[in-house]
Every structure is written in structure tokens, then in C-alpha cells.
């Protein structure tokens, strides 16, 4: 079996047992990239030489008996919205197509502290705005499970790289489902952590109150390992918190699963709903209790998310003006025209659409009508989730209402926004959620989503690992 197809846990064990070297693991991944990348298109930048140097350092440490990080020698792909010192970081946008950061994001520093091997930067929807990876200004990424279909977004390159064995692990970012949706579409595992558990320092922002970096891997155990490597307080990001762990003890015979009623409605593909319910029944057969849980405000989820997100996006994107870094228009008569031309030429259609909408919604004329009500209902939704977790340990739902759709099939922006239906609630409530493969619709993978109360990542991992080990 090729090393590239193995899990991070297995490769880590083999490395320490000296059954393989970090260099051999990396070469297996690079070989797979050479084979499949021309079809999949996951990477924007492949850092082959940097990765070889990193793998060499790991092997030298291993030879000398020096201490290694838990994920030492494991190749990882990094979403191209996360800053990497000396390595192109584009956000898949023309306006940053030549941007090379002078520093690393905190999560990248933590990868390096764990002796991981960075294989490159992977594709995304431009500035993480999209659900299919089709708004990228730089390239098209395809779903490795069906090359005629999208990988999901915005972290489509991250999920595709793992699914195609072009990386063992990947980092993505999740603002409204951007880790979980592509994980479901590509048949891998993806976690959106509790807001504040992972540093956002050095991550190009979309919506600062929602954005959260998280892991993508082949198994729940792999995702668990990567989460432990990147989580924790960061003095450079004041929204981070000291490690807070839900101390609830996992026992399948005491597990209470809430079936998220509103996310099994008529919009959800019946085969997906059946597969997710089969997962619940399988856990029930091992002793878990199942009950239906209702969370109000369902009809407001997507519009509520898009009001808050576009307001914050419009503000965050104001820094891209052609003055300090990034693309700058060539022909202009004055500063105002330079701003206008730079942003017109540098931003894609979806980014401009969200800037315009966010500016409108935050204006003095309409701020009270939209912004204030949105933040009021955001708090109400968080309270509704907290109440639901008084009745159950975790919520279970589909990750997506449909399997991966065909490239170019969903061009209507309103239809595209609706793909966030199953995922945005966790972002609005700032709670963790993990997508786990739970079956197929035809030959297309689908995902089940486990949602927990704040700081319950490790409990979600235990539930997910039990399912992977005993129910599949």
C-alpha cells in the first residue's frame, strides 16, 4: 500500500518504529501530486523543496533521538488564506496574486513546532466567499470522487488534497460551513472548532466574528491529532481563550443524541436523510438514546448569517486598496480612480457582490433595520442551542442537503447561499461541529454533522471515533 494513502496516525507510528522515513512519506505524497494534480487542481503553490528540507530535519532528529512533535513528518496542505512566511498567499484572488507574507500565521508556527511538513498552499473560493470553490480567480479545483463535480467550498482545495492523497492532513477555515461542506462532498472528516479555540492571527479575514481555522483529515482520530496541535491561547489574537475542555465523560450507553428536526426537512435529499438516520440507529444499537430536538429560527439562519457576514466582509476587505500591498491598477488619473480601478479589476464578482451588500446593510440609513436585528437574533439562536444541549449531549444532522453538484451547475448566488443551510447555525452559535462520512448517494460521498456545546471538541471526537470503529 502506498504511504500516501495511510492515515496520519498510522504514518506517525511507522515513522517512530523506523518502518519508513519522513522523506519517504513526503516522496509518496509528491508522487501522488504528480499523478493526480493535473486532474484535481487542489494546489495553488506546491512547496516541494521547502517540504524536502523539513522532512530531512525530521529524519535527522529521529536519527539523533531528539524529541519530535506528535505529527512529526506528516505532510500537510494549508489553505491559501493562511499566511506563510516567504510563500505566496493569494486568497485565490487577483488582488493578492503576488502577495508573499513576511510572517507566519500562528497556526503555521504550531505546525512547524510539531515538525510537520508543509507541501503547499491549496485553492479556495476567493477570500473564502463561496460554497463550491468555483469563485477562485486562479484555478478550478475538482472533486477527486467525481471530476465533473465541485469539491465544495470554500476550503475545497484542502478537502480535495486529502481525498486525493495529495496530503495526509490539511488546514481549512470555516466561516459558515467552509470546512464541513467540502469534507462532506469529498468524503473526508472536517472540524469547525468552537470560536476562539484556534488563533486567527495571520489568517486573511472574511468575517471576524465567525472565521475559525480547523483540521481536515481521513479519520476522526487524525483530525483530533491536528486539532490538539493547533488549538490554544495566542497573545497575538485576543479572541482566543486558554485551553478549555469539556470534561464530560463519554459512555455510549449514556450518550443522548438529539436529531436536529429542522435539518431533516423537504430540502434535504431523502437518501442523505436516511443515511444520517441510519448512523443514529447504529449508535442507538450500542446503547445511545435518541430524541428529536427542535431549534427555532430555522427560516432566519441563512439570511441572518449573510447579513452579519457581509457587513464584516465589507469592512475587512477595505484594507485591499492597492496602496500597501497586492495588485494595483496601472492606468488612473487620481487616487480615487486608482482605488476604484484596483478593486474593480482585483476582486471577482462574488467578492464585489458581498462588499456592496455589506456596505448597504451597515449604512446609517439601514443599519438599524438589519444589523441590530441580526445581532439580536444571533444571540437568541445561541440561547436556543444552549437550551437544546440541556436535553442532549450532541445534535446530529446532515452536513449538506445534497451531494456534490456538477461544476457550473449552481450559478445562481441565492441557490449557492442555500447550501449553507445545514452548517451556518454552528457558526452563528459559536459551537463546534464535525462532519463525518456516513455513506454514499450513488457513488458520491455524503456527511453527517455532529454539533456539540462550546468547548466539546474532544467529546465530539470520542463520539466520532466510536462510530468509525464500531458502526461502519
Query: Which residues belong to the active site?
Result: 79, 154, 178
Strand partners, 256: 289
Which ranges of 256-412 would DSSP assign to H, the alpha helix?
Answer: 270-285, 301-316, 335-346, 349-361, 367-391
Sign of CA dihedral 328, 80, 228, 75: negative
- Nearest CA to 172 out of 109, 121, 230, 215 is that of 215
Strand 75-79 relative to strand 117-122: parallel, antiparallel, unpaired? parallel
- Nearest CA to 451 out of 52, 152, 140, 180 is that of 180
Counting every residue, how long is the chain? Answer: 472
- Nearest CA to 389 out of 432, 431, 452 is that of 452
- Rounded-to-integer distance, Cα 90 and Cα 100, Å: 8
- Nearest CA to 105 out of 243, 219, 234 is that of 234
Angstrom CA distances, 130 to 103, 178, 181, stand at: 27, 8, 11
Grid cell listed for 280? 443514529
In the block, residue with C-alpha cell 452579519: 308
Amino acid at each position: 500500500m502506498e504511504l500516501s494513502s495511510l492515515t496520519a496516525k498510522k504514518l506517525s507510528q511507522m515513522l517512530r518504529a523506523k518502518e519508513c522515513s519522513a522523506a519517504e512519506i513526503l516522496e509518496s505524497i509528491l508522487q501522488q501530486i504528480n499523478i493526480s494534480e493535473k486532474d484535481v487542481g487542489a494546489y495553488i503553490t506546491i512547496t516541494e523543496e521547502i517540504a524536502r528540507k523539513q522532512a530531512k530535519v525530521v529524519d535527522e532528529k529521529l536519527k539523533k533521538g531528539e524529541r519530535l512533535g506528535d505529527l512529526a513528518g506528516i505532510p500537510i496542505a494549508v489553505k491559501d488564506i493562511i499566511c506563510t512566511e516567504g510563500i505566496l498567499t493569494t486568497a485565490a484572488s487577483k488582488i493578492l496574486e503576488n502577495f508573499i507574507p513576511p510572517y507566519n500565521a500562528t497556526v503555521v508556527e504550531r505546525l512547524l513546532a510539531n515538525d510537520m511538513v508543509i507541501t503547499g498552499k491549496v485553492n479556495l473560493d476567493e477570500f473564502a466567499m463561496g460554497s463550491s470553490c468555483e469563485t477562485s480567480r486562479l484555478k478550478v479545483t475538482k472533486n477527486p470522487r467525481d471530476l465533473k463535480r465541485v469539491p465544495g467550498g470554500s476550503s475545497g482545495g484542502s478537502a480535495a488534497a486529502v481525498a486525493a492523497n495529495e496530503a495526509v492532513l490539511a488546514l481549512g477555515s470555516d466561516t459558515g460551513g467552509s470546512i464541513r461542506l467540502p469534507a462532506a462532498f469529498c468524503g473526508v472528516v472536517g472540524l469547525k472548532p468552537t470560536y476562539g479555540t484556534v488563533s486567527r492571527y495571520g489568517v486573511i479575514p472574511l468575517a471576524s466574528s465567525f472565521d475559525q481555522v480547523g483540521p481536515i483529515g481521513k479519520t476522526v482520530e487524525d483530525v483530533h491529532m491536528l486539532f490538539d496541535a493547533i488549538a490554544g491561547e495566542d497573545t497575538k489574537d485576543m479572541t482566543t481563550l486558554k485551553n478549555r475542555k469539556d470534561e464530560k465523560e463519554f459512555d455510549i450507553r449514556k450518550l443522548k443524541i438529539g436529531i436536529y428536526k429542522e435539518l431533516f426537512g423537504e430540502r434535504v435529499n431523502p437518501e442523505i436523510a436516511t443515511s444520517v438516520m441510519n448512523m443514529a440507529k447504529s449508535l442507538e444499537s450500542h446503547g445511545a438514546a435518541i430524541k428529536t430536538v427542535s431549534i427555532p429560527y430555522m427560516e432566519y439562519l441563512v439570511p441572518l448569517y449573510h447579513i452579519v457576514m457581509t457587513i464584516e466582509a465589507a469592512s475587512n476587505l477595505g484594507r485591499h486598496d492597492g496602496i500597501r500591498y497586492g495588485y494595483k491598477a496601472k492606468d488612473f488619473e487620481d487616487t480615487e480612480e486608482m482605488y476604484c480601478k484596483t478593486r474593480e479589476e482585483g476582486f471577482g464578482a462574488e467578492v464585489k457582490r458581498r462588499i456592496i451588500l455589506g456596505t448597504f446593510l451597515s449604512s446609517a440609513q439601514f443599519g438599524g433595520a438589519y444589523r441590530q436585528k441580526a445581532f439580536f437574533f444571533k444571540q437568541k439562536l445561541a440561547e436556543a442551542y444552549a437550551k437544546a444541549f440541556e436535553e442532549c449531549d450532541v445534535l446530529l444532522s446532515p452536513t449538506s442537503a445534497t451531494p456534490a453538484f456538477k461544476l457550473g451547475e449552481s450559478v445562481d448566488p441565492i441557490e449557492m447561499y442555500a447550501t449553507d443551510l445545514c452548517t451556518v447555525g454552528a457558526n452563528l452559535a459559536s459551537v463546534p461541529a464535525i462532519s463525518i462520512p456516513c455513506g454514499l448517494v450513488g457513488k458520491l460521498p455524503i456527511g453527517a454533522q455532529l454539533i456539540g456545546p462550546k468547548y466539546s471538541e474532544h467529546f465530539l471526537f470520542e463520539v466520532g471515533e466510536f462510530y468509525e470503529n464500531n458502526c461502519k
